[in-house]
Amino acid sequence: RNVTDLTIERVKVRAPFNAPNTDAIDPGPGTNFWIHDCDIDTGDDDIVIKQGGTNILIENNTIRHGHGISIGSETVAGVHNMLVRHCTFDGTDNGLRIKSMRGAGGLVENVRYTDIQMTNVQNAIVLQLDYRDSNRPDFKGDPSKVPAIHNIRFDHITVEGSRRVGIIHGLPDSVITGITFSRG
């Protein structure tokens, strides 16, 4: 069932940083999401577009601990036209993350991240098509559902104290394309 014209604003979420399965904001699938001015501190995905979505704006959020702002792991419905801007991250495991896996994949395209500040983030940017879900270690899914990532732009990203600036893992039959890093 799709959600249309969803606004989530000024929400504060707290869960222990070591608590598994504590996604804070997990809408979708749907169209026209606006998630803004939230303060989130959890042990799992802070904001996640898991099932898919189109025309998504995520802005002015503060993220502490957790797995950051994520797309996936199920991307069968696809994610199209998403903008993440004016967000800060402090102490998260991941900052900006797109994760998917064979058997539950779809197309993630036309995503832009801009004016992002990250401090003490373990993995600032993660693009991963070979993701393994620890809750479903034997997952096979539909072999025709191969994930893809195209046309992702990162600009005005500041990272301080990160263990890794980025991890990019594609698949032999699904090459990640159109990734742009710029200052402007």
Active site residue 65: no
Among the listed residues 23, 41, 44, 46, the single catalytic one is: 44
Among the listed residues 23, 41, 45, 67, the single catalytic one is: 67
* Cα–Cα distance measured from residue 46 to residue 52, given in angstroms and rounded to the nearest whole number: 16
Active site residue 44: yes
Buried b or exposed e, range 113-141, using 16+ CB within 10 angstroms: bbebbbeebbbbbbbbbebeeeeeeeeee
Give the active site residues: 44, 67
